[in-house]
Chain A
Amino acid sequence: MSAVNIPPKPKLNYLNCDKTIRSWLLTLDHKRIGVMYLISTLTAFFVGGMLAEVIRTQLLVPKGLIFHATKHMSSFAAYKHYNQVFTLHGIIMVFMVLIPIIVAGLGNVVIPLMLGAKDVAFPRLNLISFYLYAGGAVMAIVSTVCGAVDTGWTFYTPYSITTETYVCFMVGGIVMIGFSSIFTGINFIVTIHKMRPPGMTWFRMPLFLWGIYATSIIQVAATPVIGVTLLLLILERVMHIGFFNAALGGSPVLFQDFFWFYSHPAVYIMILPAMAIISEIVPTFSRKHIFGYEFIALSSLAIALIGFLVWGHHMFVNGQSAELDTIFSFLTFLVAVPSAVKVFSWMATMYKGAIKLDTPMLYAISFIILFTVGGLTGVILGCIAEDVVLHDTYFVVGHFHYVMFGGTIIAFLGGLHYWWPKITGKMYNETMGRITCVLLFIGVNVTFFPQLIVGAEGMPRRYASYLPQYQGYMIASTVGAYIQLVAFLMMAGYLIHSIFRGRKAPDNPWGGATLEWTAASPPTHYNFDDTPLAIEDCYDYSYIKYDPAIDGYVRTDMPAKPAEEPETAPAHG
């Protein structure tokens, strides 16, 4: 029984209710802010992706195809530009894409809808967050235009103190993005705490909300530390305060501890929401209740909490004491277990389901496979003795791209395709979607699997040139990157096409049981006319039936075609 009122199909939705630019730039509507985040992060993703193509093209030949020694330039001077390119790639992808893209992009649109709320708890703060993000991006652009940064995205001291590139601007931008992240986290924690609809207890929440909740905790708790760390880095450069400078009695390694205290949890900021998306997609397309709800929900929190205690595994070879190495290694192995069990739970959800292989589901399956590879390669990196022979090699690069790209980005794309009809009100071309997903899956593997091998053979990361024996793997990897480029161009093509020429989307095209599918596609400005109740289990699909008339799903416990009824249906019990 549901007490959700479905209003008559409104003519005005959040996209067309006010079309002025000002109404977009100053909007307090979470959906519009979410869309602005999506546009910004996807733009950043495009830039970062093109930089990745530059990196891969450079590495086609051992001495570098793009940046190499010429008559007028020594190899080192040329490699500096390569270093700037991979640094920018890392910074853009980590701070401007992976961290905000799911939480702030999709999350902003979906969270209040899933909660049946009108907006997030602090809409103004939400807009401030967005502009902090935009401001940070502007500062990063200023830094890049002035002369870029060549420190690597990790900003390790003392190199970052001594390099004469524009570190301060870049770091200042990242601090701003960090504050954006903190405010978003605060906003979502309060929203989930205080704005759940009647009937939605903690253990009736969709798992996406659990994932976002755990993520937000990390954002709130970890980001201040990187804020202060990067602030110290700026002070170090500007005022020579000496905290990280060996010559002034400081410790360069302390920076690493501080940095990873944030940046390792940041990995979970990236992957937890991805897992949360998969936990929504898999049951919806299997038409079957999620398996092991409590475990998945609590494991998100467990991962978030243990994730705070494993940062030292990035520093097994920097001479921290063997005792610390051991503790960090142990905790790293512990954190692997809940991730593994999540994978098993998704598989168990598919067992005996009625699996529809639509585009979002294909992405979810890709995620499961790619994340398995990413996770298993992470396990060996957590093993101290083996990390010694793998640290800072392409094996690490391959591993985290499997997790970050094969995990976060693939899950994001799944989520984007899943909620695309809700966000835009249009359906994309399903065939193109499926072909692209398969192509992307192939591209990811062709790109990153050779990196695992070449890394294990000993090729270090961040190399502008390399020993000739690695060339075969490098070429393969580059071919994969080009395949990905083709896939992304296809995706951009059919998604943009769908906005203008796409078929109109029904309210519930996939048969989802969470509350956002009870809102219109696209939703109205205030989402729902009345606060909906959430009495049903949000993973019970038995009462959601396909209706060929609208080519979408409807809830059978309410009038089939509410649009035909002039007045809103009365609330049931």
Chain B
Amino acid sequence: MISPDPMAAIFSHGWNFSTLGSLWLPNSASSFGPEIQWLWDFWYWMSVFFTVLITGITVWFCIKYRFRKGIRENADPAPDHNTPLEITWSIIPLILMLVLFIFGFKYYMDMDQPPSGCYKISVLAWKWHWQFTYPDDAVTNTLYIPLNTPVEFVMTSKDVLHGFWIPDLSIQRDVIPGRTMTIWVKAIRAGHYKLQCAEYCGDGHSEMLANVIVMPIPAFKKKLAQAADIWMHNGKVLPLHVVGKRVAQLEGCLGCHSVNGARGTGPTWKNLAGSSVQLVSGSATADYAYLKQAILYPGQKMVAGFNNVMPDYYSDFAGAAHKRARKLDALIWYINTLSTHASKTSQPPVPDLPGKAGKAATQPASAAAGKAKSGKPAATEKAPPQKGAAIPAAAMPLVALGKKLYASMGCIACHTVNGTPVVGPTWKNLAGYPVKLTTGKTVIADYQFLRFMILQPGKKIVAGYPNIMPSFTTTLAGKKNAKKLDGLIWYINSLSDKTSKTTQPPLK
């Protein structure tokens, strides 16, 4: 019976009943730790006393009054009841019980009533995953708790009962679907702790853990700011499929779906996209539409051999908000990267369908586009009234190269050429036009600007668009790649009716 964690005992800030520290219980990092430890110690030593007393007396009687042939064959006369004695040994336990009851009640009331003005963290639990949402919309899987701040957890479950249980913070409460449960805590010691699911919830119950990090408020704020943007990491914008992997972790997909082919609670994601899937009734091809449906409404098309345990992700991904829909696409991109069968049909459609966009790029702009005219070489010849310099014939091969790169490098996923703004700004009529940045400045999209935006997209951001474009430094920077980069910029120029010398790359 030694203190299980001597280090914790040394760094203890809690009030201890004895120099031995609170045996067994973890050294609580919460503000009610001292109360709980005091009461525990009281009970603990009371129990030790009574266990030793009862065991000792019983064993002593067994020895002292043991049956001995010829010496002690019969009991000595003794009363078979003694009212004062019986009352005494009823009253003493009763008093001890009342002490435990009263303090247990008092401390519980403290734990039950959150102080006003708590910092609120929403907790959402589902099989077998925790997700925490902070007031500024950051979403994390690790629970960050600001130090010395009363925090109230507002909890609910998507599917079955779960138990929100952090031993080191001495808090536990069930998380119940259809109800909102609350619990609060004030952490008084920074550190790394574990959240464990305490209420049995099925296959992954024992792995339904989350890291809990209690940190000082400045560090906490910094952490949340980082967590708020899943599209970036250390200032670098991530490719979509990497974002998809993050989404998969955040939403707890990987607990049930393996990425290495192992059989799990759900089908593996390895070689899933584009393959044929055996359903409970019939079969289907795991194309984009199927994957989307399977994530949003999991019960609708059950894969043969698996149980219907997946909660629906409707609220996580569906809806009008672009941000959420894009997360789903990122996730499906990730699933596609795991498959050798992945194809156009299994990949998320790049906005405004690649085929159409490609066509649009080769054809004159539609009349509906208004004054806009395609900057395509053929068109420039037919459009003398158009202002700005035309594309010189010498640049035509570069325009063609740029157009090819537009599709092959994936620019097509986020930038249209027909004037529709999607994830990123459209390339139609971009070159030579003024662009408003998030800093509030307005700049003309000239050659230098375009170059800068392709190579270091995160540095300047066009107002109204998310900062999600990956940097193309590795593929387009340097002398070796100068031709490619210029080709792209020539292509962008060819789409604009304000193309001019300043917006075009220099011709050698």
Cβ-defined contact, A351 with B78, below 8 A? yes
Cβ-defined contact, B80 with A293, below 8 A? yes
Cβ-defined contact, A83 with B205, below 8 A? yes
- A-contact 0/1 string along B161-173, CB 8 Å cutoff: 1010101101111
Cβ-defined contact, A369 with B58, below 8 A? yes
Report which of B51, B197, B203 forms a contact with A79, defined as CB distance below 8 A. B203
Cβ-defined contact, B200 with A350, below 8 A? no
B105 / chain A contacts, CB cutoff of 8 Å: 326, 329, 384-385
Kindly provide the distance from the CB of A457 to the nearest chain B CB, expressed in whole angstroms: 5
Interface check B507, CB cutoff 8 A: no
Cβ-defined contact, B199 with A383, below 8 A? no
Cβ-defined contact, B196 with A458, below 8 A? yes
A333 and B171 CA atoms in complex are apart in Å by 23
Cβ-defined contact, A252 with B203, below 8 A? no
Q: List residues of A (388-406) whose CB comes within 8 Å of B's CBs.
A: 388-389, 391-393
Q: List residues of B (162-217) whose CB comes within 8 Å of A's CBs.
A: 163, 165, 167-168, 170-174, 176-179, 181, 194, 196-207, 209
A352 and B76 CA atoms in complex are apart in Å by 5
Q: Which of A1-9, A283-291, A419-427, A557-565 contacts B (4 or more CB under 8 A)?
A: A283-291
Cβ-defined contact, B178 with A246, below 8 A? yes
Cβ-defined contact, A152 with B200, below 8 A? yes
Q: List residues of B (76-117) whose CB comes within 8 Å of A's CBs.
A: 76-82, 85-86, 89-90, 93-94, 97-98, 100-101, 103-109, 111-112
Q: Which of B67-75, B231-239, B453-461 contacts A (4 or more CB under 8 A)?
A: B67-75
A290 and B264 CA atoms in complex are apart in Å by 60
Residue of A with least CB distance to B97: A333
Residue of B with least CB distance to A287: B75
Known: A71-B262, A74-B258, A380-B100. A354 touches B75 (CB 8 A): yes
Q: List residues of A (224-246) whose CB comes within 8 Å of B's CBs.
A: 246
Known: A152-B200, A386-B36. A456 touches B24 (CB 8 A): yes
Kindly provide the distance from the CB of B86 to the nearest chain A CB, expressed in whole angstroms: 6
Interface check A467, CB cutoff 8 A: yes
Known: A392-B199, A457-B24, A463-B206. A319 touches B47 (CB 8 A): no
- B-contact 0/1 string along A239-273, CB 8 Å cutoff: 00000001100011100000000000000000000
Interface check B437, CB cutoff 8 A: no
Interface check A356, CB cutoff 8 A: yes
Interface check A203, CB cutoff 8 A: no
Interface check B256, CB cutoff 8 A: yes
Cβ-defined contact, B174 with A385, below 8 A? no
A465 and B36 CA atoms in complex are apart in Å by 28
Cβ-defined contact, A164 with B207, below 8 A? no
Cβ-defined contact, B206 with A293, below 8 A? no
Kindly provide the distance from the CB of B380 to the nearest chain A CB, expressed in whole angstroms: 59
Interface centre among B51, B75, B112 (most CB of A within 10 A): B75
Q: List residues of B (437-451) whose CB comes within 8 Å of A's CBs.
A: none
Interface check B220, CB cutoff 8 A: no
A163 and B62 CA atoms in complex are apart in Å by 53
Q: Is the interface of B mostly helix, strand, loop or mixed?
A: mixed
Interface check B159, CB cutoff 8 A: yes
Cβ-defined contact, B58 with A357, below 8 A? no
B112 / chain A contacts, CB cutoff of 8 Å: 322
Interface check A75, CB cutoff 8 A: yes
A189 and B210 CA atoms in complex are apart in Å by 52
Cβ-defined contact, B159 with A158, below 8 A? yes
Interface check A353, CB cutoff 8 A: yes
Interface check B61, CB cutoff 8 A: yes
B32 / chain A contacts, CB cutoff of 8 Å: 385
Cβ-defined contact, B204 with A69, below 8 A? no
Interface check B309, CB cutoff 8 A: yes
Residue of B with least CB distance to A376: B47
Interface check B57, CB cutoff 8 A: yes
Cβ-defined contact, B25 with A343, below 8 A? no
- B-contact 0/1 string along A46-86, CB 8 Å cutoff: 00000000000000000000000111111111011001000
Residue of B with least CB distance to A291: B80
Kindly provide the distance from the CB of A330 to the nearest chain B CB, expressed in whole angstroms: 6
Residue of B with least CB distance to A87: B200
B9 / chain A contacts, CB cutoff of 8 Å: none
Interface check A462, CB cutoff 8 A: yes
Cβ-defined contact, B61 with A77, below 8 A? no
Interface check A379, CB cutoff 8 A: yes
Cβ-defined contact, A389 with B54, below 8 A? no
A531 / chain B contacts, CB cutoff of 8 Å: none
A337 / chain B contacts, CB cutoff of 8 Å: 90, 93-94, 97
Kindly provide the distance from the CB of A144 to the nearest chain B CB, expressed in whole angstroms: 18
Known: A77-B265, A150-B202, A460-B196. A317 touches B173 (CB 8 A): yes
Interface centre among B80, B178, B206 (most CB of A within 10 A): B206
Cβ-defined contact, A380 with B43, below 8 A? yes
Known: A356-B67, A392-B165. A385 touches B111 (CB 8 A): yes
**B residues at A contact (CB < 8 Å):** 1, 4, 24-26, 28, 32, 35-36, 39-40, 43, 46-47, 50-51, 54-55, 57-59, 61-62, 65-68, 72-82, 85-86, 89-90, 93-94, 97-98, 100-101, 103-109, 111-112, 128, 159-161, 163, 165, 167-168, 170-174, 176-179, 181, 194, 196-207, 209, 255-256, 258, 262-265, 307-309
**8 pairs of residues in contact across A and B, judged by CB atoms under 8 Å:** A162-B308, A162-B309, A337-B97, A356-B66, A368-B58, A389-B167, A392-B198, A466-B206
Other contacts beyond A74-B258, A384-B105: 19, CB < 8 A:
A74-B264, A80-B202, A159-B201, A290-B80, A291-B80, A330-B101, A350-B58, A350-B62, A353-B76, A357-B67, A365-B59, A373-B51, A384-B108, A385-B39, A388-B170, A388-B172, A391-B172, A391-B198, A458-B165
